[in-house]
Structure 1
Amino acid sequence: MADQHPLVEDFFEYVKSSIDYRIAVIGQVDAGKSALINALTGENSHISTATDATRDVVSYPYKDRGQLLDFPGVGTTEFSPKQYKQLLKKYKVKHVLYVFSSKIRDADEKVIKFLSKQKIKVTFIYSKLDTLVDVTGKYDQSLLKQEKNTELHVTFKKVITDSLKYHFISVKDDQGIEELRASIDNYLDKKDETFQKRINSSKYFNRFLSKRSNALAAKLLTPGFKDLILSREFKTIEQKTRNHFHIDEEDAERLGQQMPHVIDFVNKAKESNKAEGNYKKMIGPLTTLISTVLKVRKLNVITFILSTFGEAGIRAVYPRLRGVFEYVRAVSDLASDVLEARLKEV
């Protein structure tokens, strides 16, 4: 990724941002959520002897793509089930590791039923497997695990259609961690498949370029940019536009094209409009040009144009405005060609 063209890197980041690689780690108070995150990521998440010390949602990187979100415990005095639902709505997670260390409680039921209603994927974890023992000695651990799975199935079979079984783990004894990690990796592999499809999708390709053009509007439709046009600072305009799209002469040469220059478009605009006497009639086409290139509302463009014309006069400024934005369109088209060519090399 680090060796890719900057435009390709930006495109990959754009596509990645459209895919939710986050997994929330929630569950019972003092169930060992933070310890589990430590075991999965190697990160030093906060663990305390106090009852569920996690008060805020904290993100930890998982390998080179995912994120594990450490949520507060369910059923604390700070978070009633109702408040917890609001917290989940705020973060809009799509996959949850729900961690238990004891029997299912009322608060757990309410939150899990909410997750099911919101179509959020739930992976059930029974932590602290090393403490799952029968003090009477009548049952071995396999039977106790079976009982836990039965309790889970009976409680949620009416609301959850997916398999209702625990991932039994023990961070202390490192039991079940690799199996859980493999499950998470499988989930993220499917996300990666979506990523690959989207970087090869014309829809996301065009959306990305439209977003880049729209972001350029914030730089161009400003008093400072207007001053550059009025003072004919075309080199500065070129530098700003090239930097925005991350392209240069080398990129144009690789495609067998010439790098566009503002002055060429301005001169062309002057020649094509010499016969036009009423420049006011040009406001409409110019507005359409700018709003199309920058992907912005025409009203914002009209305000910019009239402000510029009001200072310098329509006849003097029109060729410069048209030339500059014809140039921006040409650079945007070149950026599209560069990105398409570079993606074929990936």
Structure 2
Amino acid sequence: MTLRAVVEGVGHYLPDRIVPNSEFEKSLDTSDEWIRTRSGIERRHFAADDQTTSDLAVRAARAALGDAGLSASDVDGIIVATSTPDLTFPSVATMVQQELGMTRGFAFDVQAVCAGFVYALTNANALIVAGQAQCLLVIGAETFSRIMDWNDRSTCVLFGDGAGALVLRGQEGKGSNEDRGILSADLNSDGRYREMLYVDGGVSTTGEAGKLRMQGNPLFRQAVEKLASTAETALAKIGLSGADVDWIVPHQANIRIIQGTAKKMGVSMDHVIVTVQDHGNTSAASIPLALSVGVERGQIKRGDLLLSEAIGGGLAWGSVVLRW
């Protein structure tokens, strides 16, 4: 028998404010057509002035716990993937822990930008398989609207705010790729590419949060190659290929990256969960948001084989294969 980290619940939260592409036409030399053609994005959500990343994370966490039929007292630990924490410290995860009324266990953040949720899932899986926890809450939450340069039309139109969460519980499997739960993962990073996507501020440099900077075209080329490669590596670890996948649930950065990766893997877009048109790029929140929406739409069903892959600043990238 093999211990697996199985998804027991999923949920998400999006702020009330919906920002269509047309809103940017008032202040930037851009248009709805320009944004849609280059990114596939039609609208995104922005947090209210008094909403923080932890606020969004708590809403998603409660939704996931409700879906699992569990309470905070059943959870051994919380892992939050985010690059936009409320404060430098303490972690967003401890703030979520407090708001949920959870007084035992552990909580910590993971920072790998857009790849953050894949990194968080991989860490959660390792903790469950190692016997360090039985039930974990894994959250991706971001307020990227707080680090946008509103004069840079190449970046500020791409990002949005939101949160998604999964509840993972340890469950015995047979040790085959037919088991439910996380079956394999692949993580990578290469600091040589850090200037392709970064924020120009920080605690030990400017003392300020800074603004997001991106080299779009070079990053696009790196993304398609690296996402397809990590996906194929994760699948090969368990003797599978793209043809075996029911759904690719990718990081929702850009429709052209999503399409390019699927094509490179030989997977039809009919088997890809796409939410980028409604959410924009929500960084570490995009995969759990897409998972939750995929379930809500009735696309993702129990027993389906899912592949999630993401790339973000660092560069950091990776993938996870799981059976729902």
TM category, shorter = under 0.3
Which structure features the higher share of strand residues?
2
TM-score scaled by length of structure 2:
0.25
Higher RCO (Cα < 8 Å, 6 or more apart): 2
